[in-house]
Chain A
Amino acid sequence: MTELAVSDPLPKPKRDLLPVLLPAILALAMLPLIGSGSSWVTLTAASLAMGMMIFIMASGLTLVFGLMDVLNFGHGAFIAVGAYIATLVLLPLAGWVQADSLLTNLAVLAPAALAAMAVSGALGLVVERVLILPVYGQHLKQILMTTGGLIVAEQTLYALWGPQIIPLPLPSALRGSFILGDVAISKYRVLAMLVGLAVFVGIQLVLNRTKIGLLIRAGVENREMVEALGYRIRRLFLGVFMTGSALAGLGGTMWALYREQVHASMGDELTVLVFIVVIIGGLGSIGGCFIGALLVAMVANYGGFLVPKLALVSNILLMVAILMWRPRGLYAVTSR
């Protein structure tokens, strides 16, 4: 340990860059394996778009865990509810969705996404108050309660909308691809990438540049201390939970449009995917979650292209590999 003079600035924590570079390294390593440059660009763009969507869904889960030490096994329910609410807006306005003008299309997509976020967020409020509030600090009961919540939500969706798959066509202006030379990048993927990046940057700005973000980060570090300083951390918890649920709703809407269908069981399927991302990234870390989502999407896309059979278990293999390297995930945030 070197001694510091009083006037010296505090030593900066070491930047841990290896995980950040991992997606780039993976992408470059895949280039010779895939061979053709144009398929590589298409696959990489597809992975980035898919990764951004997964990130939007997973970010809420990891924030909620980091701040509140609550793992919401019912997170998938918010995703599915968001998607269903979006169909409520999009299907009646099918004329606008099919209109061949980007402006009209966006004019209907934006309210659909906002409605999905609002309803998921409101559902988050109810879930936090009813299911999670009585069992703060008890992991076992949290897991059981939120699993029960997921089942109830999914079955309610079945009861209200029926068991059939609802087709949800993409707006016409977002169909098709941009063609640059012999590279094709689908338009919707570009939109997904933009939205994902916006969410990531937005979360980072809020966390690092605002007072609320400061309180949230402080709460992750030491909850009692923040309370002792006179802040109502309970309200902060609720706000974060609702934001996380709303983001899950947004992610669900985008995922439903990407797959062009809505089904009540999409909640459980995505829960597993989102969990893997959150574990890979390190529970509670937004940056880790972002990288984890990109990695999962890349492995799924490249793996599906190179060895289609492997794609079934590629996520698990990726998770095992990452956890062998860093047992607590890429960025271990909390000391828990």
Chain B
Amino acid sequence: MMMLSGDPPRSRALSILLIVIIAALAAAPFVFPGAKAMNVATKICIFAALVASYDLLLGYTGSVSFAHTMFYGIGSYAIAIALYSLGPTWTAVATGLAIGLPLAALLALCIGLFSLRVEAIFFAMITLAVASAFLVLASQLSWLTGGEDGRSFQLPELLRPGTILIPKDWFGFAVNGRTLTYYIVFVACAAMILALLRVVNSPFGRVLQAVRENRFRAEALGYRTVFHLTYANCIAALVAASAGALNALWLRYAGPDTSLSFAIMLDILLMVVIGGMGTMYGAIVGAAIFILAQNYLQALMSVASNAATEAGLPLLPGLLHPDRWLLWLGLLFIFSVYFFPAGIVGRLRAGTRPST
């Protein structure tokens, strides 16, 4: 209870679902040792933290930000540039974090103070504009960021796949640097999600919810809502940048497509909405379901597309082509906003609770 900050899942089905997801993630290196499965597991961990931080903004304060991938990208690029230019040492990792995290927080502070004074809509537009400018900058300043190609780099010795920590003949499976990296990602993401859960269940989190419900009344009660919203924006940016740093460490690469693109922003939005806005647990459920679907349903789409081509149907092959995955995602997004605004978590909670 202490760990969950007094905000348990409050639904048996949801608890079981969460336990299954977390147990599967915790045991992933031993149960699903393949490279693709490990990538999927890592991506679920990282996105669960990233989406949870976005939920702090969207679900708890009700402000839509389109700059979340920018902070994610700042974290990724900070690690990538530091390790690329300083060489594969732990000092470089520390330098990357020491530059990237404060930079993200500072930028979030500026954007927040600048645009959170007025309506949610204003914030959404400004973040969209700033994020698109940042994307252009990242792909143009190629001396620093590597341009469209991004930056690949080497990890410190300890985290490389070649480093065998526990040989295979001890327990029957090898623990190498890659496994260690995975557990660093797993533990860091779990810690961030628990910290966010702590934040939203603190008095500060209650004020955020009050602002979401009625900003005018919250202000009338004496809360300086601009500061609360800006702090929330900074916390979310810090977590997003940390998630970005973890992502760069795992991929050993940072580039516009993996860390900054608008498609990632859309993925995050979708995961929050599918999982359930304003619940935190929704982030874990949403990220797990979405990323599993993204990785394994796209294959299904290409099968369907090929089948449609062979059957000679018009239009369908184009619509079902795996590259058109976003089309179906967009439709799903509209439907879930319209019909299931509370998301999976909201549904599960409403189902088990008789009446409150």
Contacts and interface: CB of A to CB of B under 8 A. Distances in A.
Tell whether A and B belong to one assembly: yes
Interface of A: 71, 73, 131, 134-135, 139-141, 143-145, 147-152, 155-156, 158-160, 162-163, 268, 271-272, 275-276, 278-279, 283, 309, 312-313, 315-316, 319-320, 323, 327-328, 336
A139 B120 contact: yes
Contact of B330 (A151, A276, A279): A151
Interface stretch (B93-101, B159-167, B179-187, B320-328): B320-328
B120 A140 contact: yes
A73 B125 CA distance: 9
A334 to B, nearest CB: 10
B257 to A, nearest CB: 14
A323 B111 CA distance: 12
B262 to A, nearest CB: 7
A323 B130 contact: no
Given A131-B334, A312-B137, A328-B118, A151 B129 contact: no
Most buried by B among A143, A144, A149, A316: A144
B50 interface: no
Contacts of A131: 334
Contacts of A272: 128-129, 132
A316 B115 CA distance: 13
Given A152-B327, A155-B327, A158-B323, A144 B273 contact: yes
B137 to A, nearest CB: 6
Contacts of B329: 151
Contacts of A147: 266, 269, 333
Contacts of B301: none
B223 interface: no
A279 B338 CA distance: 28
B231 interface: no
A141 B341 contact: yes
Contacts of B326: 151, 155
B318 interface: yes
Interface in B308-353: 315, 318-319, 321, 323-324, 326-327, 329-331, 333-334, 337-338, 341
Chain B's interface size range is 35 or more
Contacts of A150: 330
Given A141-B337, A159-B324, 16 more contacts: A140-B120, A143-B121, A144-B64, A147-B269, A152-B330, A158-B323, A271-B128, A272-B128, A279-B129, A309-B140, A312-B133, A313-B133, A316-B130, A319-B129, A323-B114, A327-B117
B126 interface: yes
Given A140-B62, A313-B137, A279 B122 contact: yes
Contacts of A275: 125, 128-129
Main secondary structure of the interface of B (DSSP, over half): helix
A58 to B, nearest CB: 12
A149 B125 contact: no
Contacts of A149: 330, 334
A312 B136 contact: yes
Contact of B319 (A151, A159, A279, A320): A159
A327 B118 contact: yes
Nearest to B124: A143
30 contacts: A71-B121, A71-B124, A71-B125, A140-B62, A140-B120, A143-B120, A143-B121, A147-B266, A147-B333, A148-B331, A148-B333, A150-B330, A151-B266, A151-B327, A152-B331, A155-B327, A156-B327, A158-B323, A159-B324, A160-B318, A275-B125, A278-B125, A279-B122, A283-B122, A313-B133, A315-B129, A315-B133, A316-B133, A323-B114, A327-B117
Nearest to A65: B121
List the 5 closest pairs (A to B, CB-CB), nearest first: A155-B327, A151-B330, A152-B330, A148-B334, A148-B333
Nearest to A70: B121
Contact of A159 (B58, B125, B126, B327): B327
Interface of B: 58, 62, 64, 114, 117-122, 124-126, 128-130, 132-133, 136-137, 140, 262, 266, 269, 273, 315, 318-319, 321, 323-324, 326-327, 329-331, 333-334, 337-338, 341
B256 to A, nearest CB: 14
B337 A144 contact: yes
B76 to A, nearest CB: 20
Contacts of A152: 327, 330-331, 334
Contacts of B319: 159
B117 A316 contact: no
Contacts of B330: 148-152, 155
Nearest to B266: A151
A152 B270 CA distance: 13
Contacts of A320: 114
A326 to B, nearest CB: 12
A250 B111 CA distance: 34
Given A139-B120, A145-B338, A279-B125, A159 B133 contact: no
A155 B324 contact: yes
Nearest to A314: B133
B231 to A, nearest CB: 20
A143 B132 CA distance: 17
Contacts of B132: 272
Contacts of B124: 71, 73, 143
Nearest to B115: A323
A323 B321 CA distance: 44
Most buried by A among B262, B321, B327: B327
B220 to A, nearest CB: 18
A151 B334 CA distance: 10
Contacts of A316: 129-130, 133
A312 B269 CA distance: 27
A148 B337 contact: yes
B331 A139 contact: no
A268 B131 CA distance: 13
Nearest to A336: B119
